[in-house]
Chains A and B, each alone.
Chain A
Amino acid sequence: MKQHPQKKVRTDLNPSRLLTFKIDERDVSAHEDESILTVARQNGISIPTLCHLDGLSERGACRLCIIEVKGVAKLLPSCVTFPRQDMEVITNSERVVTYRKKILELLFTERNHVCSVCVSNGHCELQNLAVELGVTHVRYPYLYPRHAVDASHSRFSIDHNRCVLCLRCVRVCDEIEGAHTWDIMGRGITSQVITDLNQPWGTSETCTGCGKCVQVCPTGALSEKGKSVAEMIKRRQFLPYLQMMRGRQDDSWQK
């Protein structure tokens, strides 16, 4: 899962280089191992994200955090792009915003996101992003795939209709809980998150039932059973602390 280089822990003996560059014409300084997204947020510049979650490794899956870099033709995902000296980054050009909207619209067309009857209605990151970016219409035809709900787990259920394939569940299960119950199968549009060897969640032998996947899921795809519409409010504050505590067990606390 961990795709970008392991973050080095900075100490006096192991200093990281400091850089200066520009975000939206503002001069900012950063450590070389901090992503552009991190630096932007440190400076109060907001970039929309969906798959990123503080406390988990970066995935670069949703592409909502794309930015423009002067001199580079491609748009780059800011969560997995690192600054260079004198780089000029633009986070909110018309081109970027248009693409972000398109990405969101395509996400809505790929699965059956019906907010009105969703457990996460009103507390959904996908819904909030659509509001924030002013997505009032979807210009592409909906695909209406047929996805079943897996309610075989005693406490949780997964509704693939609401999954955006951000893979937060896969990452939190692997990186924090250490169970690696979740994974992904298939390619492209047929991709789907699975438990163990693509078997009903309730029959999974590795799942500890900790529920972290449910809490980090940005939409109503993963939810607690028995919650009615709009009742599923996710708690994610635990993540950075938990990561720190788990890190201490690995002895990295001292490093």
Chain B
Amino acid sequence: MSGTITIEPISRIEGHGMITIIVEDDGSISDARFHVTQFRGFEKLCEGRPFYEMPSITERICGICPVSHSLASSKACDAILGVHPPDTGVMLRRLLNCAEFIQSHALSFFYLSSPDLLLGMESDPAKRNIIGVIEAYPEIAGDGIRLRKIGQQIIELISGKRIHSAWVVPGGVNAPLCAEHRETMLQMIPEALEIITRTLTMFKKSLEKYRDEIQTFANFPTLFMGMVDKEGNLEHVDGRLRIIDAKGHIVADDIDPADYQEYIGEAVEPWSYLKSPYFKPMGYPEGIYRVGPAARLNVCNGCGTVLADQEWAEFRSLERGPIMSSFFNHYARLIEILYCIETLQKLLDDPAILSPRIRAFAQPNFLEGIGCVEAPRGTLIHHYRVDENGLMTWANLIVATGHNNLAMSRGVLQVAKRFITGTEVSEGALNRVEAVIRAFDPCLSCSTHALGRRPFTIRFRKPDGTILREL
């Protein structure tokens, strides 16, 4: 009975990953791991480049959340320049970020996860994809496609290009917003609001169906980390970090992201290219924490916008303390879309958004800079060092998916223990193992950036540790 179950590749996620599950003689599951099998090396390849190229170089890490990388990178560059972008520059960056959250969360929810949620975990795998959803639920699929399109169109209207626009630059942004584009965006908002309200209602009604998944999708106590603003409300771009424990007590608050190294350690495991960050004061691997949509809603005191605040209160009433099951990331994503649509409206209604004062210029004044934003998948940190001439000497990127690495592996184990016995596994059970990963919406292509050495081997082993095969 003993053996190893390998799921490769994991489908409907961003990037390439693999899961291995170790099965004991009696058919019980002893261990499970989530491996990231791709390697990018951005931290290394940017050495020697001028720091002001970094926003556009790191933007290329991802085609889904390039905005987040360009924002974190530009903020690190702002720190190297020692400038604060003009108010309109900050507003425009925030505006762009809202649009990205809308499209990225819509992608995760509708394109990648809705096949599991709508068609069922056990449904025919040949049809369990967005095409299957279009056939069975054309209206919902249409809503998803439309919502993502709105997000992408707004990105294009603001920055000139849907993907990799290189519009966010050190010191601010490189082109002001024109009144005509503002008008076009404002016209899109009512439809987006309608779609998200409809989807939220539908999703809340269906929660009952997923009781098993809610119980087992990484449903265990961990710390949570996320960004909050001065009032402790949800914040994606310019805030400070807060870490809470599983009971909801704040263990670290008002952390300047520039001090991240005091709080976050990075461990490297030989079986994955993905680093395993942990909360330093608690050590490795006890310092396991989670980031992302549900974590953000867990750490904040509210959203700060009317409709999203109502949804947030309802969301938080699901459990007494912080929401533990990562299944609720889907729910949190929808609430964040709502928050972003409302924020978009607020920003566009402010006449200052059209000001041409959008960029601060300076020579590099500091040799080190750290930039941090909340990406759709969680906290994103860019840390650069430059020489006297402004050429990069060192970079460290901690990407959202990385923060969740430990939790994803444990989540896989939890699901495997519940749904799998022995090596004879039903297709639906295997899909649930993948679906727990999907709940985190990991972006593996974003998250594997280097270390300077290659720690990766694939091991297939028996429970006694004998290695069957090594790649």
By a beta-carbon cutoff of 8 Å, the part of chain A in contact with chain B is 116-117, 119, 121, 148-149, 151-152, 154, 157, 202, 225-231
Contact = CB atoms under 8 A, between A and B. Distances in A.
Contacts of A117: 53, 56-57, 60
A128 B160 CA distance: 20
Given A116-B60, A149-B48, A229 B361 contact: no
Bin chain B's interface residue count.
Answer: 10 to 19
B169 interface: yes
A121 B53 CA distance: 12
Contact of B52 (A152, A202, A227): A227
A155 to B, nearest CB: 9
B174 interface: yes
Given A116-B60, A117-B60, A149-B48, A228 B389 contact: no
B75 to A, nearest CB: 14
A229 B390 contact: no
B309 to A, nearest CB: 37
B166 A229 contact: yes
Question: From DSSP, what is the main secondary structure of chain A's interface residues?
Answer: loop
Given A117-B56, A227-B52, A231-B174, 4 more contacts: A149-B48, A226-B52, A226-B361, A229-B53
B174 A151 contact: no
Contacts of B60: 116-117
B389 A151 contact: yes
Contacts of B166: 121, 228-230
A228 B391 contact: no
A157 B48 CA distance: 12
Contacts of B391: 149, 151
A152 B390 CA distance: 9
B57 A228 contact: no
A149 B50 contact: yes
B67 to A, nearest CB: 15
Contacts of A231: 169, 174
Interface of B: 48-50, 52-53, 55-57, 60, 164, 166, 169-170, 174, 361, 363, 389-391
A121 B59 CA distance: 15
B49 A228 contact: no
A231 B363 CA distance: 17
A228 B164 contact: no
A204 to B, nearest CB: 14
Given A151-B389, A225-B50, A116 B361 contact: no
A228 B174 contact: yes
B56 A151 contact: no
Nearest to A157: B50
A181 to B, nearest CB: 18
Nearest to A153: B389
B415 to A, nearest CB: 39
B93 to A, nearest CB: 14
Nearest to A223: B50
26 contacts: A116-B56, A116-B164, A117-B53, A117-B56, A117-B57, A121-B166, A149-B48, A149-B50, A151-B389, A151-B390, A151-B391, A152-B389, A157-B389, A202-B389, A225-B50, A225-B52, A225-B390, A226-B52, A226-B170, A226-B363, A228-B55, A228-B169, A228-B170, A229-B53, A229-B56, A231-B169
